[in-house]
Structure 1
Amino acid sequence: MKTAFLAVLLLISTSAMAQTDHIGTQASLPNHPRILLLKGEEEPIKRTIESDKTWEKMHTVILAECDALLNEAPIERIQIGRRLLGKSREGLRRIFYLSYAWRMTQQENYLRRAEKELLAISAFSDWNPSHFLDVGEMTMAVAIGYDWLYYGLSEQSRARIKDAILKKGIEPSLNPKYNSWLKSSNNWNQVCNAGMVYGALAIFEEQPELAKSIVNRAVDAVVLPMADYIPDGAYPEGYSYWGYGTSFNVMLISALEKAFGKDFGLVAQPGFLKTAAYLQNMTGPSGNAYNYSDSGLGGGLEPAMFWFANRLKDPSLLWVERTNLMNGDPKKLVRDRLLPATMLWSGGIKISSMAEPKELMWSGNGKNPVAMMRTSWSDPAAIYVGVKGGSPSNSHAHMDVGSFIMEADGVRWAMDFGMQDYESLESKGVDLWNRAQDSQRWQVFRYNNFVHNTLTVNNEMQRVFEKAPITSLSKTPLFMNAVMDLKDLYKGGLSKATRGVALVNKAYVVVRDELETPAAETTVRWTMLTPADVKLLGKNKAELTKDGKKLILEVREPAKVVLKTWSTEPTHDYDAANPGTIRVGFEVQVPASSKTALTVLLIPEKAVKTAGSKVQALEKWPKE
């Protein structure tokens, strides 16, 4: 035991030598509770609940879930594949909810049920440090419970819980075998550092030097993934991972501010505050997310957006959250393990002040540049278009560069499959995390360009380590558009590949590709994935039907083209099923050393008679 303790001290001192001392001489923190919500800060939340029926409903939903948890057995250490993460997340959900209920009501049953969960988790053999996200979330869970319930816990319980935070949470993070996330620029860095800081804050008075080292280390390290918000806040890992990485980044900042009275410069990191607008624009009129990369389709309440809205003093950022607050299914809401943070960050904002946003288009450059356009924020039948550039080499990315999604009349006509469950692939031996050009990752049906709404050239995959920038944009109301340079993704096959996507006259969508070939004939496939029934009306026109609505897909250029469909039947036994979907598009043979344009219109039924007859070259499209 003594040898292990000395080894930990050596790791701490070695780590501290390379750190910036952000904390300085501050030797103490507020008494417990000190994480996120200080003693007495329940009162403003209670006033918000009393003054707004929607907030009252949210508070009641949380308490009802806590009541349901009272008779549930504590979670057990059941690992699935390489992950304990499901248990860590459920542990965080239960403890955060029950601790909130205790803070807000002082009812003994919530305290004792939380204590039971804390002791069960603390008794686990470990929190699975080989997959450190599991440790990060579990440490955050136990730290919140330990801190918020501190004076209600027995001395014996406190000792056991504190020891688990130290031995199963913080100490493994000092081991180079487990802490490669410190040098990562993805969500792992954000989540794991947040968890370790929560653990450090919980036991600060017991281990002040260790705790300071953990906090200093986190402030130094988390700026790596925060650099990915530069310049405009477009989160490169997409919608779902924004909900993960950014939420935990906000949890980290919020805890630091509450404990130390400052954020150590993290809020001022370029692009970070702008990311709230990115997330807001990533939800379409249907309520579904723009689900590129490893993302789920279903949108949901994002607690972190309330933190951003308060920080920026902009309640309009909560327009989408307003809908989720007012109309969200309680059973769905309570699956969010960070839901109580919504109450902490509500800031007294009334539902009535969450006004409709004014901007109908948002774009962001960065590793995965995106643009989203819409005709309205309040009309459920509005047209919504999302388009992206970027690179397959980005964290959690697919070969979807140049792809787009499109909604109209409440239907997502042009769709993206998004992610496939990782365990379903890993359990069958798929080398999922190898991003090499010829790796097995790109054989997964949902991951390569053949099934995305982009181009396929000579039946080959996009170049993994190349990237496509957005080269021009316009928010012109009657011709919102974004143009991307895709040529590097098709090196050897195309010498020019420029794609423009426009929302025209607030009535229909144009997708135009301008291509040039090298000294060889080239085959180009244009693809759109859809959940609609597809009826081919002729060589260049198809009628898409879904939910009683219709959309016309019309190819204006080239003149000689034959539309066709392709199955979405999985190609391997490890691929997920894709029922109710089909690919529609066409192939063209482009002669060597020549130019061509592919122009496709997506026309909702009500705009069929008014869609323009001519689409100009991309160089003539409006630009900012």
Structure 2
Amino acid sequence: MTVNTVKGYLSKTSGCAVYAGYPDISKRDEWEAFPIELKREIVKRGEEALLEPWSELLVSDFREFFRSGNRVRFEDKYFSRRRKLNSLVMAECVQNKGRFIDAILDGLYLIMEESSWCLPPHNSHVRDGQNDAMPNVARPVIDLFDAESGAEVAFCEYLLRPVFEKISPNISEYVNYRLEERIFVPFLNEHFWWMGNGKEPMCNWTPWCTQNVLICALTRSANYFDEDKRRKFLEKAAASCDYFLDEYGEDGCCNEGAQYYSHAALCLFGCLELMAGVTGEAFAGIYSEKLIKNMANYIVKMHVAGDTYINFADCSAHPGRRGAREFLFGKRTGDDVLAGFAAEDLKSQSMYARLIPDEINLFYHVMQAFAYKEMTEYKGNGDNIRPKDSWFESTGLMVARDNVYTLAAKAGNNADSHNHNDVGSFTIYKDGKPFVIDLGVGTYTEKTFSERRYEIWTMQSKYHNLPTFTDESGAEIMQKPGAEYVARSVKCELGDAPIGKTSGEGSGEVCSLSMDIASAYGDERIGSYHRIVTLNKGEDITVTDKYDGELKAFVSIMTYEKPVSDEHGMRISVGELGCIDLSGGVVTDIEECPINDARLSMAWKHSVYRVVIEIDDAHELSLLIR
């Protein structure tokens, strides 16, 4: 491990208080200070939750994943319990009349009496190991949602402790019993892969699990742990956070994409907030670190328009809205653009959406509610600010913009977390609308995270904006997964206007990414494949490919709007958005790809299309996109 950032700041502190960053239900002045429309909506949501039945979660539901590979049937029942409990707890904290308490206790005990909080596809102590087909009661696995569930019951007990104490001490004792068994003992005494050891790559699991373990430990009553024991949680968490940071370049780019920013950088923020909340100002200095600032601001640089973001790998083009976590991260790092961006996004949402109804983490609901008034009144610099063009050298990603186009092009390698084989691909939005797209990923199944991952069509280079090769037998040669399948001779040039300004028509500014992507295919018959992707600001986008090799080459272009080729196969009209003019190739096929998957259909409401362009014998293809 080369990074010593979090441990370094922790070493400047001593001791460890009990976390009290948000008030429990007894602090009435703070809960009653919410705006009236917020209180009404929270109570309304709680009243609706009272009418919903609690889901029945059976062992056969747990085992469904091992029979069919289907995760959804179990997860729908599992997560609905947690969402309902959140709504009830928030409503009781706002109203404080006791009318939600019985239902809260029903939900709290239902969750605590589950045989395991670990999801079936994560039910192994070994990374990517064989999952146990039954819950492991004797040796719990701390996965993402064991930790999330621990945080939920812990924060529920923290908020309602004054009420629970009047009913019976057994409630808090039972919560602590479950936390001891499923969180505290395994966390302090075992090594789970996501904790880090400097020998294998980390991902969003590291801060996501760590944050939730800290919520569990730091919200226990003052006499539950002594200060030295609380400090052990901090020290182990700090080490894990540094292993996670070791995966990042100084540019702060999340190689898992904008969707996983919410579970990576924002969960790191959660860790830092919790640590700062129990140690003091000396630790809070960590927010001045350049890496932390860049990780925070990454999401702004990936934004296209509305709820649309640049996406690659398993990330969706619609990865979620911004809220209190981004807002507070921006404030802590002194980034008024990020804070304003989050505030404006919140204000653009319906009242229903502002209460993050799909979120299962109770801590986030409280954070959102207590930041709500400030966010709705915030006058920052996040509205209508076009981010600077960006080159993320750590992942090989360029993002460039003008008044019309947002262009992203990716070099890098095929070993990203949640990887798709997409070295050299690009995406284009015109006036905020999808022109040339990246599909994202379908519903997760057993196959998604197995050795058969790249049998899934959305993972394959053929369904990205990339060449596919064929040999004399007709066999297709696509990109392969792994760090050795990489772009070489990578060069990025940015001709950027200052932040907050716009480029004029025909400004002459050029942003380009050039690379040789032949190595991504791992086939010696492909000598070189040099690609240059260029945004000519105020004018158009060009893609120039030069190929040297023995195989026949076909380039795929993925679109959302229906493409139509002219009679010569030299011009592609993409809906009403624009056209792509070809030189050095001809359209040979347009494949309609129906969207039947629930997760994909959240981003793409109808079929998408794959245009196939055969490169001619000169092996030079030019695309003019406008």
Residue 415 (str. 1) matches residue 437 (str. 2): yes
Give the Cα separation in 2 of the matches to 1:501 and 1:367.
19
Residue 229 (str. 1) matches residue 256 (str. 2): no
Give the Cα separation in 2 of the matches to 1:342 and 1:493.
55
Superposed counterparts of 1:403-552, under 5 Å? 403-423=425-445, 426=446, 430=447, 432-434=448-450, 439-458=451-470, 459-464=476-481, 465=483, 466-468=485-487, 470-476=490-496, 477=503, 478=507, 479-485=509-515, 486-491=517-522, 492-515=524-547, 517=548, 520-546=549-575, 549-552=576-579
Q: 2:224 aligned to 194, 203, 206, which one?
A: 206
Residue 181 of structure 1 and its aligned partner are, at CA, apart by: 1.5
Distance 1:352 1:264, change over 3 A: closer
SS in 1 for 2:274: helix
Distance 1:498 1:127, change over 3 A: same
1:153-187, Cα deviation, whole Å (9 max, x unpaired)? 131211111111111222233464x7222125101
Amino acid in the other structure paired with 2:275: L
Residue 322 of structure 1 and its aligned partner are, at CA, apart by: 4.3
Residue 215 (str. 1) matches residue 234 (str. 2): yes
Amino acid in the other structure paired with 1:66: G
Distance 1:116 1:420, change over 3 A: same
1:236-292, Cα deviation, whole Å (9 max, x unpaired)? 111211122223222222122222225477546652221233212323225323231
- The answer on whether the counterparts of 2:526 and 2:550 sit within 8 Å (CA) in structure 1 is no
Q: 1:251 aligned to 267, 270, 282, which one?
A: 270
Amino acid in the other structure paired with 1:233: G
Residue aligning to 2:209:
192
Give the Cα separation in 1 of the matches to 2:112 and 2:527.
59
Q: 1:81 aligned to 52, 65, 71, which one?
A: 65
Residue aligning to 1:132:
143
* The 10-residue stretch of structure 1 (60-69 or 412-421) with the greater mean CA deviation from structure 2: 60-69
SS in 2 for 1:143: helix
Residue 211 of structure 1 and its aligned partner are, at CA, apart by: 3.5
SS in 2 for 1:416: coil
TM-score (norm 1): 0.78
Residue 342 (str. 1) matches residue 368 (str. 2): yes
* The 10-residue stretch of structure 1 (182-191 or 476-485) with the greater mean CA deviation from structure 2: 476-485
Residue 68 (str. 1) matches residue 54 (str. 2): no
Distance 1:572 1:359, change over 3 A: closer
- The answer on whether the counterparts of 1:319 and 1:356 sit within 8 Å (CA) in structure 2 is yes
Residue 390 (str. 1) matches residue 407 (str. 2): no
* The 10-residue stretch of structure 1 (440-449 or 333-342) with the greater mean CA deviation from structure 2: 333-342
Give the Cα separation in 1 of the matches to 2:57 and 2:316.
26
SS in 2 for 1:343: helix
Query: C-alpha root-mean-square deviation of aligned residues, in Å?
Result: 3.6
Percent of aligned pairs with the same amino acid: 17
- The answer on whether the counterparts of 1:20 and 1:220 sit within 8 Å (CA) in structure 2 is no
Tell me how many residue pairs correspond in the alignment. Answer: 549
SS in 1 for 2:465: coil
Amino acid in the other structure paired with 2:48: A
Residue aligning to 1:607:
none
SS in 2 for 1:481: strand
Give the Cα separation in 1 of the matches to 2:285 and 2:568.
59
1:517-556, Cα deviation, whole Å (9 max, x unpaired)? 2xx523222211112222211435334343xx2311101x
Residue 583 of structure 1 and its aligned partner are, at CA, apart by: 0.8
Give the Cα separation in 2 of the matches to 1:91 and 1:273.
36
SS in 1 for 2:20: coil
Give the Cα separation in 1 of the matches to 2:391 and 2:246.
14
- The answer on whether the counterparts of 1:532 and 1:544 sit within 8 Å (CA) in structure 2 is no
- The answer on whether the counterparts of 1:445 and 1:575 sit within 8 Å (CA) in structure 2 is no
SS in 2 for 1:413: strand
Residue aligning to 1:306:
327
* The 10-residue stretch of structure 1 (447-456 or 258-267) with the greater mean CA deviation from structure 2: 258-267
- The answer on whether the counterparts of 2:425 and 2:465 sit within 8 Å (CA) in structure 1 is yes
TM-score (norm 2): 0.77
Amino acid in the other structure paired with 1:157: I
Give the Cα separation in 2 of the matches to 1:522 and 1:266.
53
Superposed counterparts of 1:263-412, under 5 Å? 263=283, 267=287, 271-285=291-305, 287-303=307-323, 304-318=325-339, 320-332=341-353, 333-337=356-360, 338-345=364-371, 348-349=374-375, 350-356=377-383, 358-376=385-403, 382-412=404-434
Give the Cα separation in 2 of the matches to 1:24 and 1:372.
38
- The answer on whether the counterparts of 1:278 and 1:364 sit within 8 Å (CA) in structure 2 is no
Distance 1:331 1:359, change over 3 A: closer
Residue 358 of structure 1 and its aligned partner are, at CA, apart by: 4.4
Amino acid in the other structure paired with 2:534: A
Residue aligning to 1:613:
none
Give the Cα separation in 2 of the matches to 1:96 and 1:233.
32
* The 10-residue stretch of structure 1 (411-420 or 280-289) with the greater mean CA deviation from structure 2: 280-289
Residue aligning to 1:34:
20
What stretches of structure 2 of length at least 5 have no aligned partner?
Answer: 1-6, 119-139, 471-475, 497-502
Amino acid in the other structure paired with 2:250: P
Give the Cα separation in 1 of the matches to 2:365 and 2:152.
13
Superposed counterparts of 1:519-598, under 5 Å? 520-546=549-575, 549-555=576-582, 557-558=583-584, 561-569=585-593, 580-588=607-615, 590=617, 596-598=619-621
Residue 499 of structure 1 and its aligned partner are, at CA, apart by: 2.6
Q: 1:171 aligned to 185, 195, 208, which one?
A: 185
Give the Cα separation in 2 of the matches to 1:37 and 1:433.
40
- The answer on whether the counterparts of 2:142 and 2:182 sit within 8 Å (CA) in structure 1 is no
Give the Cα separation in 2 of the matches to 1:528 and 1:539.
17
Give the Cα separation in 1 of the matches to 2:23 and 2:598.
46
Give the Cα separation in 2 of the matches to 1:197 and 1:321.
25
Give the Cα separation in 1 of the matches to 2:317 and 2:177.
40
Residue 504 of structure 1 and its aligned partner are, at CA, apart by: 2.0
SS in 2 for 1:353: coil
Give the Cα separation in 2 of the matches to 1:571 and 1:312.
40
Give the Cα separation in 2 of the matches to 1:25 and 1:312.
20
- The answer on whether the counterparts of 2:495 and 2:511 sit within 8 Å (CA) in structure 1 is yes
SS in 2 for 1:567: strand
Residue 103 of structure 1 and its aligned partner are, at CA, apart by: 4.1
Distance 1:151 1:234, change over 3 A: same
Distance 1:281 1:64, change over 3 A: farther
* The 10-residue stretch of structure 1 (581-590 or 565-574) with the greater mean CA deviation from structure 2: 565-574
What stretches of structure 1 of length at least 5 have no aligned partner?
Answer: 1-18, 51-55, 377-381, 604-624
1:18-51, Cα deviation, whole Å (9 max, x unpaired)? x999579955624xx725558998867876x54x
